[in-house]
Chain A
Amino acid sequence: MGNLLEVNNLSISFTQYVQGLNRHDSKVISDLTIDVNESEIVAVLGSSGSGKSLLAHSILGILPYNSHVTGELKYKGKVLDQQLKEELRGKEICLIPQSVNFLDPLMKVSEQAIGECKDENEHNQKQIRQREIFSKYGLDESVDGLYPFELSGGMARKVLLSTALIEDPNLLIADEPTPGLDAKSVEETINDIKNLKDHGKGVLLITHEIDVALKTADRIAIFYSGYVIEINNVENFKNSDNVLHPYTKALIDALPRNGFKLTEGVQPLGEVTGCPYWENCPIRLDKCENNIPELVEHDGVMIRCFNFEGGK
């Protein structure tokens, strides 16, 4: 199993002008480290609106111009710079976008799945492949000529998924593939994504739905206030004993099947000087207030907490 994607210490911030000419850098993703292997699904789980999608955008090189990125991205051991991103995107790395809004409203869906072609020949070849993939997902020929606004939610999902598979990529980035879908479609989407894994592909699943992450992923990275605070194997998420971070524990305990224990407190919105969970943490130490813990390995689990540093 090779390492498909490595993200090392990725930080993304935006330059904004507040109150006239005062520049302000607002950090959305801080020091994010994660990796995806072949035949593996890694979920990034975090609340909606927390900037998870920017991770996907930075891997594909489509961040807006006022963003500032530090850290390192690697694809198959090679550093992913903008040039390599532009080369690989759409071919080896594909995005499965969130919603039907990501389809051109005035283009027939089959043409969108086929995408840009150099000549007639390439177009014909891709059209055959598009038809294959559409039928695989139960989209018959009448769907080919439809426009995005004519699709149902479930059909749109399948079309979006198909767009990513035309080129047979190695790495797929699924950005919130499930919101707004009924239970059956969610189930189908989960199966579709798992199916990709069985074909040797790596999937980075970005979601805020904990159930989807639990049912789909092999490993789950918990995204909290811009930081990844824990990356753990999915089987450890069955109950709160096997996860390490106090926030993850609280999250698991809050699930209905685990007793619905709710914890007070919200994620800090602004920048913090110390551990982002310090304010709400039941096991905080003195140094947590003003020092940010590193993401370290502890018994095969990646954890960002001072309680687990230094081999404790």
Chain B
Amino acid sequence: MIKINNKKLAKFFGYKAIRLLILLIVIAAISFIMIQLSPIDPVKAYLGQRIVSQEQLAIIGNYWGTNLSLGERVLGWLQTLASGSMGFSLIYRIPVTEVILQKFTASLTLMVVSWVISAVVGFGLGVIAGAKEGTWIDKVIKTYCYILQSTPTFWIGLVLLMVFSVYLGWFPIGLSVPIGQLSDTVTFWQWLYRLILPAITLSIVGIASLTMYTRDKLISVKKSDYFLFAQARGESFWGTIKNHGIRNILLPAITIQFLSFNELFGGTILVEQVFAYPGIGQATVAAGLRSDVPLLLGIVIVSTIFVFAGNFIADLIYQYVDPRLRGEDDE
């Protein structure tokens, strides 16, 4: 049973909420200032190829506040943000919140699936390599990890596409729906089938780091006094690995996995680009290339919250699941 002190927990949540708020304000302000200082001109981006007169340009600029000082503009942006609006996407012509909601849900499945794959496979491989330290299987897993760790995600994606989609023809080469079909009519299996390759690609880099971490942790647990004692008590090899090894490395491994949310977000941008998967990654690239400032800023804020959530969960696990850290004032 996990005993949780409600008062302590409430304090923890309150403290984290304040941190998140400060973080969001700072991130929102800094990213806004950076965009303002960049050569992107929101008025030109809005107009696209249309030809307008100087007077009309001035009117639009005036309407959008490009003639205001930087400080005023930042303040205005933060005020709008506080009211819950992120503005209007220039590319999609709908509110930014709607775009993000739609794109993020698509990416979230991709990220969750690959996150789970990398957690299970990475941890499993790490345990095997650590338990069998020094044997051929350890060496194979280690070499595999070194190769993966030193390979860029998008390149792995390209290789997988070439092998499985082009040469073997097992998987489609891209898109989350079959070509010529409306997204509403896609069945679950069609959708899952198209998710496999991008999800595997995204999970691969996570696997390598988690495996190496797990392996290392398990080896140090194997050298501990309590592990030695368990052996001295005649517990079987896999019994000791399961009862003492995994028990002691699971928490740090889960924590590491939650901390990897930022890599996941970065990875998904590349993977979605390679597989033409219409998620938040593609939207980010499009927003950047086509100067969709509101969407870009919106994505920055959402990704901040996403990474914060990962760190927050990691913290929560550390504080409340490990009996040693649950603290004396619990009872």
Contact = CB atoms under 8 A, between A and B. Distances in A.
Interface string B290-322: 000000000000000000000000000000001
Given A106-B323, A116-B235, A147-B324, A62 B228 contact: yes
Interface string A80-114: 00000011111100110111011111110000000
Contact of A60 (B225, B232, B247, B251): B232
Interface stretch (B99-107, B178-186, B206-214, B236-244): B236-244
Contact of A95 (B229, B235, B239, B247): B229
Interface residues of A, number: 26
A113 to B, nearest CB: 10
B50 interface: no
A103 B225 CA distance: 8
Interface residues of B, number: 22
A104 B243 contact: yes
Contacts of A99: 225
A163 B233 CA distance: 9
A105 B248 contact: yes
B35 interface: no
A149 interface: yes
B226 A102 contact: yes
Given A99-B225, A105-B248, A147-B323, A115 B233 contact: yes
The 5 A-B pairs at the shortest CB distance, nearest first, are namely A90-B234, A90-B233, A102-B229, A116-B235, A101-B225
14 contacts: A57-B232, A89-B233, A97-B232, A98-B225, A99-B225, A101-B225, A104-B230, A104-B243, A106-B323, A107-B243, A107-B247, A116-B234, A116-B239, A116-B243
Interface of A: 57, 60, 62, 86-91, 94-95, 97-99, 101-107, 115-116, 147, 149, 163
Given A86-B234, A90-B234, A107-B247, 17 more contacts: A60-B232, A90-B232, A90-B235, A94-B233, A95-B229, A95-B233, A101-B224, A102-B225, A102-B226, A103-B229, A105-B226, A105-B248, A106-B323, A115-B233, A116-B234, A116-B235, A116-B239
